[in-house]
Amino acid sequence: MSTTVQVGKEQAVTKRSPGVTASASSTPHVIAMVGLPARGKTYISRKMARYLNWIGMETRVFNLGNYRRMKTTDGKGMGVDHQFFHPGNPEGMKIREAVCEEALSDVFTWLSGGGEVAVFDATNTTIQRRALLHRRVVQERGFKLFFVESICDDHTIVEANIRDVKVTSPDYLDIGDKDQVVDDFKKRIEHYVEQYQSLDEGLEPHLSFMKIFNGGRKVSVYQHEGHIQSRIVYFLMNLHLQHRTIYLCRHGQSEYNASGRLGGDSDITECGREYSRKLAAYINSLQDPEVVVWTSWLRRTIQTAEHIEGRQERWKTLNEIDCGSCNGLTREEIGERFPGELQARDGNKFMYRYPGGESYEDLVARMEPVIMELERKETVVVVGHQAVLRCLLGYLLEVEEEKMPWIEVPLHTVIKLTPVAYGCKREDILLGPCCDPPEEPREPREAIATLELDL
C-alpha cells in the first residue's frame, strides 16, 4: 500500500477503554462519505461503524439512499430509474435536497442525544454540497467534520460492485432483468460524473479528509484532527474490498476442559488430538495457497494446528482471557475461594474482571491489532480460545457488547465466515469428535452449549 500523509494540527484526546460509557471525545463527529455510486461508500461506512462501535464509540450510519426511498413510491423505491438523478431533473433535485436536510436533522438529534460519531453515507460529490455540510455541521453546530472519499477507476471493481450489490437494491425490486439493472445504474453513475468534483486541498483548504483509491491500494490524508479521526484513518488504511473467507475454531479439547478447569496451559486430550487431525484434513482440502493459520502462544492451540499445512503465525495477543487468581480453578473452587465473584460475573459478564485478571472489555482492547491484521489478509484460519473468538465474532457479526460474552462457540467445530454485501454469513461445520463433558451448571442467561467451565 502506498500512503501519503499530510497532517494538520492534532488535538490530544485521552483514550478510553472500550465499553466505558463516557465519551472518548467531548466533540461529536460527522464522517461524511464522498464518491461516485458503486465505489464502496456504504461498505466502508458499515465497516467503519462496526469498528468504532466495537471499540466503544457510539456510532450510527445515516444512509441517504434509504431516506430518498422513503420519499419515492411509498418508501419502496421501485420505479426510480436513472433519470431521477439527472442534474437537469428539478423534481429529483428538490427531493434529494430535502432528503439531505432531513438526514442532517436526524444526525443532529442523535448526536445531541449522546451519539458520538454519525456516518453520513451519501455521494457528496460537489464542492457546493460539502460547503453546505461544513456550514451546518461545523459553523452552526460546532461539531467535527471529516470527509472520506472513495475513488475507484478500476472498472472490474466497479462492475463487480454493481452486479454483487446494486442489482439487489430496493430501487430495482420491480426489474427482473439484471442486465437492464446494470445498464440503468451505469447511466445513473454518468449523471453524477457530470458534476463530480473530487476533494481538493487547494479549493477546500478548510476541510479535513481522507481519500481511498481502488479499494485501499493507496490512501492520502489531509489535515485530520484528533483521536477519533486518527483511529478512523488507521482502520481504513488496513481495509480492503476483496472477497475472502475467515475460519475460526477453538482448540481441541484440553485436559483442563475435560476436568472443568479455567484457563491454564494444558495439553490437548486424545479427543482433542483426533479433532486436530480432522481439522487439518478439512483445511488442507481447501488447497488455498494464500491461507495463513494463526494460533496463540498456548500449547492447546499450537497442538491443534500442528497438522495443518502452510504458513503459521503465533500471536501472544490471541492468548485466552487472563483469569487471574481464578486460573486453574473449577467453578466450585471459585465459589469457595472468592465468594460473590460468580454472581458478579453473571450480572455483567462483559465488564466483569477476574481478580488480578482481565474482563471482556480488556480483551476487546487487546484484540485491536488482530482485527487490523485480519482486515488486511485474504484467507485466515484462527485456532483460538472461546473468549477470544467471541470478541472476534462480536466484531465480524456486529454483536452488541453485552451479548458478546454469550456468543456460542462450540468445541470441535469450524466457524466459516463469508462476506455478504455489508456483513458476514456464519456457517458452523461440526468436525467432531464429541467428547463427554464434565457435569457443569448452565449459564443463568441464554443457554450456551459448552463443554467446559465457560469463560
Positions marked catalytic: 121, 152, 251, 320
What single DSSP character describes residue 254? B
Can you tell me which residue has the cell 475461594?
Answer: 337
Cα(321)–Cα(237) distance, integer angstroms: 28
CA separation for the pair 30, 212 (Å, rounded): 18
Q: Which region holds residue 53: left if phi is over 0, alpha if psi is between -120 and 50, else beta?
A: alpha
Q: Which residues contact 301 (CB under 8 A, 6 or more apart)?
A: 251, 295, 318, 383, 384, 385
**Which bin fits 428, alpha (ψ -120 to 50), beta or left (φ > 0)?**
beta
Q: Which residues contact 332 (CB under 8 A, 6 or more apart)?
A: none
Start-to-end Cα distance in the chain: 38
Compute the distance between CA of residue 120 and CA of residue 138 in angstroms, rounded to an integer.
14
Phi first, then psi: give them for residue 247, nearest 5 degrees.
-115, 125
Q: What DSSP element (H or E) covers 4?
A: strand 2-6
Q: How many C-beta atoms lie closer than 10 Å to residue 48's C-beta?
A: 23
Cell digits of residue 230: 486518527
d(CA 382, CA 455): 18
DSSP assignment of 259-282: HT--S--PPB-HHHHHHHHHHHHH
* Torsion sign across C-alpha atoms 212, 188, 100, 171: negative
Q: What angle do CA 103, 106, 109 make, to 5 degrees?
A: 155
Using the Cα atoms of residue 310, residue 314, residue 315 and residue 319 in order, give the sign of their dihedral: positive
